[in-house]
A and B are shown apart, each in its own frame.
Chain A
Amino acid sequence: MDARQARPAPAHSLDPKIIRLWRLNALLWGVAPLAAMAAFAGFLLSRLADWTPLQAALPLIVVLVVTLTLVVLVPPASYRSWRWNIDDDEVDTMSGLFTVTRRLVPMARIQHVDTTRDVFERSLQLATVVIYTAAGSSSIPGLPVRRAEEIRDQIATLANTYEDV
């Protein structure tokens, strides 16, 4: 049985713009370094092992094909798998492609809440809400800035009202 039948999945999805954000991040932090390494390897092989230019370009081509396929396919799938919900009792997040992990954080356990925005997020008017407990943090990425701030304030108000650990 699917865990989502035993307990309905959280109501909300992320902002669809998150797909673009994830792609940008993957290109910058994943594809670019790997491509640079493959290009360098090709360069070395052409110099030291007398590979023809076509052969030397092979590592780069392989890397680009594989990573770009992932960049095209993975973010939409992650977007579809991501669900979240916040009510008076808890913050409920669900994500994951192969392994779907659902994390339930009671309001009463939240120590503090942050919203963070990196450069890409700013350019897309997105924000991430990070929830801290005494045992680690949980975050909801890709929320419209306004929404993120509302959520942060909502959690802060709710969480602050209750007894400590």
Chain B
Amino acid sequence: MSSPWQAPVPPHPDQPDPTAWSPNGHAPTDGHAPGGAPPGVDPEIHPDGDVGHRERFHPAYMLITMVRSVRGFIVPIAIALFSGSRGEIVWLLIAGAFAALTVISAVANWWMSSYEVTGRSLRLRTGWLSKQERSVAFERIQSIDLQEPPLARLLGVAQLRVETAAGGGANADIVIEAIAVAEASALRNQLLAERAQRTSRPAPANDARPGTAPASAGTVPGDAIPAPGATGAALAATGTSGVSGEVIATLSGRDLLIAGLTSSRIGPAAAILAAFSQFGDDIVGDRVGRVVESSAFSPVQAVLGVVIVGGLIAWALSILGTVITFSGFALRREDDQLVISTGLLDRRRTTIPLHRIQSITVREGLLRQPFGLASIHFVSAGYGGGQQSNDSGVLFPLIRRADVAALLGRAVPAFAADIETARHDGQRLPGRARARYVLPAIASDITGLTIAVAAGYLIPFTEWWWGLAVLLVSSTPWSWLTYRDTRWAWDADDRLIVQGRSIARSVTIIPRRRVQFREISQNWFQRRAGLATIGVRVAGTTFGNSVTIAHLEVTDATAIADHLAIPTASLRRRGRRRPVPAAEPVVAWSGD
């Protein structure tokens, strides 16, 4: 992709000529660029003349900010409209002032915001009343996200989010709010190229053994792994040009539907529906009651009917949710990074450097396990992933278990572990751990059941408490399954492979060198039984262990912890911490 930055071309017909407001011309007076400074050089902050061409955001940004501010005031606006005081002049004045302010601030914001690719960093200036400038050195860039929220898509623009390891939270370090789609792709490619040039970091799997190093680098593009039942479905148009790299896998329409049918979103969907029915009950409760009384159905049948219909609706919603999220899902590999594009309404493209991936989890949802289907998830350090942060993402939403190894081998060779062998030959929990899994579950089930029976006895009309009771005793068999399914193994490449279960069964793969620290804990009961719990944590999982194995032999827990030790003698000494000089860290300042 050629980069338009050396010889800037107006990126969009209706965007003004960049030279008209570049620092060489009459730059917007942004506080720190004194008027007398020589063209293009800001002696205060960029002593080495490290400047590029400033580009404003796409003009669509104005509309986007206006919509945002109106959305923020939606409640007061609605109150004003429906309060019956519509005609009053005061209200008109307030509304007018509000509208004027919205427009002015949107225009001013757009006018004052710009991004700039300098010799060694991406610099962003934002703000109107309070200005902010932020630079991210190329080598500090961890991930670049391209997102197209619905409104942006209507306007033909995208949102470019650049994150560094410092982020951690939901906020990207640099967000270019509106940029023409083609330009966004070009900028992304340029940034990635700059980073690659500056980072002497050895490519992807620097922690894999030589034998497992990127074996797939030379595979034929387009030779995608057929996901379950796929017919090598054509890649759904992502709308963003400049997509390159080897396509590792795409999700076919049929698989998308299967993913929806078997998705675990059905739980949350049912909960939302239940909340709604509570709500609706207050409004139409009486009428429904009368219908039930007058119909030929018994109350039990009626309730059962409602549950079944509600379940079907929840299911349909979960299918819809899956389709919206994973429509057009494609996993590509560009040299040492993965590019994941997905989404029907809010399209996004995420770039994750392979060396940032810390662990991989293969999850077999409740409805997927019987069909041998699974989804693959990753945890990556310093990847905020936009709004739904959590530092973990979907590597592939639906795949046959048998194909997992092949996909991992091509996408993330450092994690291409033999899961099936580990599953069969892995170490299991000792027999006396069983009671520790099952007894608390039995206790909670008995408590729940007692409450349900009491409620069913006390509240006359709910003859269907037994239905609830079935749900309430479910945690006992579950805990037993968790006990039975838990196992762990080290593979030949020193990866810790742990199978566990919460609701879904999951297998997590953690290369030994990815482990940050580990915890062994023992409560009073475990101490008496000689059992312990071990937790292993990788980067990007600040709020909990990546993997926890509860109630294993103390000696086994200690052995795992010992194996994860990093003896000083084994480390290569380096003169300094990072291979890259601390050129230009993330800098942010704000002022007015």
Contact = CB atoms under 8 A, between A and B. Distances in A.
B565 A98 contact: no
Interface string A107-128: 1110000000000000000000
Contacts of A163: 571-572, 574
Given A134-B540, A165-B381, A102 B519 contact: yes
A104 B554 contact: no
A100 B524 CA distance: 8
A109 B537 CA distance: 11
Contacts of A134: 165, 381, 516, 539-540
Contact of B527 (A2, A160, A165): A2
B475 interface: no
A92 to B, nearest CB: 10
A136 B530 CA distance: 29
Contacts of A66: none
B540 A162 contact: no
Contacts of A10: none
Given A3-B554, A163-B574, A96 B521 contact: yes
B566 interface: yes
B369 interface: no
Of the listed residues A90, A106, A164, the one surrounded by the most CB atoms of chain B closer than 10 A to its CB is A106
A89 B567 contact: yes
Given A98-B524, A101-B520, A103-B517, A161 B574 contact: yes
Given A100-B522, A163-B574, A164-B577, A3 B557 contact: yes
Interface in B550-587: 554-555, 557-558, 561-562, 564-568, 571-574, 576-579
Given A161-B574, A164-B577, A164-B578, A135 B555 contact: no
A57 interface: no
Given A3-B558, A163-B571, 12 more contacts: A3-B522, A89-B566, A90-B566, A101-B521, A106-B565, A135-B537, A135-B542, A136-B537, A161-B574, A163-B574, A164-B578, A165-B516
Nearest to B382: A134
A136 B520 contact: no
B554 A99 contact: no
B566 A101 contact: no
B550 to A, nearest CB: 12
Contacts of B561: 7, 104
A104 B574 CA distance: 23
Contacts of A6: 554-555, 557-558
Nearest to B207: A165
25 contacts: A3-B532, A5-B554, A6-B555, A6-B558, A7-B558, A89-B565, A98-B523, A100-B522, A100-B523, A101-B521, A103-B517, A107-B566, A107-B568, A109-B516, A109-B566, A134-B165, A134-B540, A135-B537, A136-B542, A162-B571, A162-B572, A162-B573, A162-B574, A163-B572, A164-B578
Nearest to A100: B522
Contacts of A109: 515-517, 566
Interface string B507-531: 0000000011111111110010010
Interface in A3-25: 3, 5-7
Given A6-B555, A109-B566, A165-B381, A102 B537 contact: no
Interface of A: 1-3, 5-7, 88-90, 96, 98-109, 133-136, 138, 158, 160-165
Contacts, number: 115
A1 B515 CA distance: 26
Query: Which of the four size classes fits the interface of chain B?
Result: 35 or more
Query: Considering the complex of A and B, which 5 residue pairs feature the smallest CB-CB distances, nearest first?
Result: A134-B539, A1-B530, A135-B516, A106-B566, A101-B521
A18 to B, nearest CB: 21
B578 A99 contact: no
B541 interface: yes
Interface string B368-409: 000000000000010000000000000000000000000000
B520 A135 contact: no
A133 B539 CA distance: 8
Nearest to B571: A162
Given A3-B557, A90-B565, A104 B518 contact: yes
A98 B527 CA distance: 10
A147 B578 CA distance: 28
Given A2-B554, A6-B555, A165-B381, A105 B517 contact: yes
Nearest to B355: A165
A2 B567 contact: no
Contacts of B146: none
A100 B538 CA distance: 21
Contact of B573 (A90, A103, A133, A161): A161
Contacts of A160: 576-577
A102 B520 contact: yes
Contacts of B518: 103-104
Given A135-B516, A162-B571, A164-B578, A99 B539 contact: no
Nearest to A107: B568
B183 to A, nearest CB: 33
A68 B346 CA distance: 56
Contacts of A3: 520, 522, 527, 532, 554, 557-558
